Amino acid sequence: MPDLDRLQLHPPASSDLPALLAFELENRAYFENWVTARASSYYHREAIAAAIEQAQRERQQDLVYQYLAKLDGQIIGRVNLTAVTRPYFNKATLGYRIGEQFGGRGYATRVVALLLEEAFGPLELWRLEATARPQNLGSVAVMQRNGFHQYGRSEKAMRFQDTWSDLLYFERRDTQTMA
């Protein structure tokens, strides 16, 4: 798809508040099918403003790197690196979510690819980790298309929506640094 080249990642800024709140509200029910529900209090201007400020602080502290995935200025998803661990490991955990109306069109794969460039470039990370439930075939495919290797599986590792679920563990190393 030609518009994949127009995708960009941007750290959240206070100017993103109205669009980010709208994105979260629009996709709330969809996201809750895949990830733990956020508290109802999250879906208000004040909470989104506080979340943006927290994201900025955590970035400055080299703890978490959050990005908004934008297509021609419109938020289509979010992607982040959490649990940044330095020194010796230089690793982080990858997480992402793409809005329902943008699913199945290659956006998630491209967003993760853009994040890999950032992680293994300016952020100087050596390794990224990610998890996915086996039934989330789309997420598993995104990991595989971006060169992640599955290195493990935990049985009944999480309870989500009153059902036990396994977790698949993925990793991707910076081949430039580790050559």
Three-state secondary structure string covering 130-146:
EEECCCCHHHHHHHHHC
Among the residues of the chain, which ranges form H helices? 17-32, 45-60, 107-120, 137-145
Tell me what pLDDT residue 15 has: 98
Between 137-145 and 107-120, two packed helices, what is the crossing angle to 10 degrees? Answer: 50
Among the residues of 64-171, which ranges form H helices? 107-120, 137-145
What confidence tens digit (pLDDT) does each residue in 97-125 have? 999 999 999 999 999 999 999 999 999 99
**C-alpha–C-alpha distance, residues 90 and 70, integer Å:** 27
Residue 41: how many other CB atoms lie within 10 Å: 8
Say if residue 82's pLDDT is above 80: yes
Tell me what pLDDT residue 35 has: 80
Residues in the chain, overall count: 179
Tell me what pLDDT residue 175 has: 84
Average pLDDT over residues 4-9: 92
Average pLDDT over residues 31-48: 91
Say if residue 2's pLDDT is above 60: no
Tell me what pLDDT residue 179 has: 63
pLDDT band at 34 (very low <50, low <70, confident <90, very high): confident
When the pLDDT of each residue in the chain is averaged and rounded to a whole number, the result is 94
Q: Is the pTM of this model over 0.75?
A: yes
Of the chain, the end-to-end C-alpha distance in Å amounts to: 33
Instruction: Give the residue with greater pLDDT, 176 vs 124.
Output: 124
pLDDT band at 33 (very low <50, low <70, confident <90, very high): confident
Between 45-60 and 17-32, two packed helices, what is the crossing angle to 10 degrees? Answer: 100
